[in-house]
């Protein structure tokens, strides 16, 4: 179980303090997504998105604490509360080719992928891409 990962979101994420997961993603990742987990926010190409890491957040609440809160999309109706650590306007996006290079995953992102666990070293290497 990793305390780090990349959360894939649709275009339009803008320092939201709620991150939504689909039913399938919650079932798959509910034991891993817990308070203290750090997420890099990757904006996908839907609708026309940036295809880059655009922010960083830390999970601050449990699944149960998020229940009933509005989510950015109806497809991702299982929210968790987060605290924004790096705001979209304050960073230079990390483009897809760099994400793939650092993670060693040339097929990222995969169709239907919601969460990509990372090692601490991979996570820190992505943070270093901002500095």
Q: How many CB atoms lie within 10 A of CB 33?
A: 22
**pLDDT tens digits, one per residue of 16-74:** 999 999 999 999 999 999 999 999 999 997 777 789 999 999 999 999 999 888 887 88
Confidence bin at 1 (pLDDT 50/70/90): low
Given this model, what pLDDT does residue 46 score?
74
Token pair belonging to 52: 């880059």
Contact in structure between 104 and 121 (CB atoms under 8 Å)? no
In whole angstroms, give the CA distance from residue 60 to residue 62: 7
Taking a C-beta distance cutoff of 8 angstroms, is the pair 41, 54 a contact? yes
CATH classification code of 4-128 = 3.10.590.10
**Distance (Å, rounded) from C-alpha 102 to C-alpha 90?**
21
- pLDDT computed for residue 129 by the predictor: 94
Chain segment 59-117, per-residue pLDDT in tens: 999 999 998 888 878 888 999 999 999 999 999 999 999 999 999 999 999 988 999 99
Spatial distance between the Cα atoms of 68 and 45, rounded to a whole number of angstroms: 27
Task: Reduce the DSSP state of residue 39 to 3 states and report it.
Answer: strand
Query: Domain spans of the chain?
Result: 4-128
């Amino acid at each position: 179980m990793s305390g780090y990962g990349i959360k894939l979101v649709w275009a339009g994420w803008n320092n939201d303090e709620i991150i939504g997961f689909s039913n399938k993603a919650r079932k798959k990742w509910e034991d891993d997504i817990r308070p203290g987990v750090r997420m890099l926010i990757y904006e996908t190409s839907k609708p026309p998105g940036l295809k880059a890491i655009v922010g960083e957040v830390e999970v601050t609440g449990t699944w149960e604490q998020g229940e009933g809160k509005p989510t950015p999309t109806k497809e991702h109706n299982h929210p968790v509360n987060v605290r924004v650590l790096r705001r979209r306007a304050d960073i230079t996006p990390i483009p897809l080719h760099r994400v793939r290079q650092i993670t060693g995953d040339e097929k990222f992102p995969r169709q239907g992928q919601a969460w990509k666990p990372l090692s601490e070293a991979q996570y820190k290497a992505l943070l270093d891409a901002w500095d």
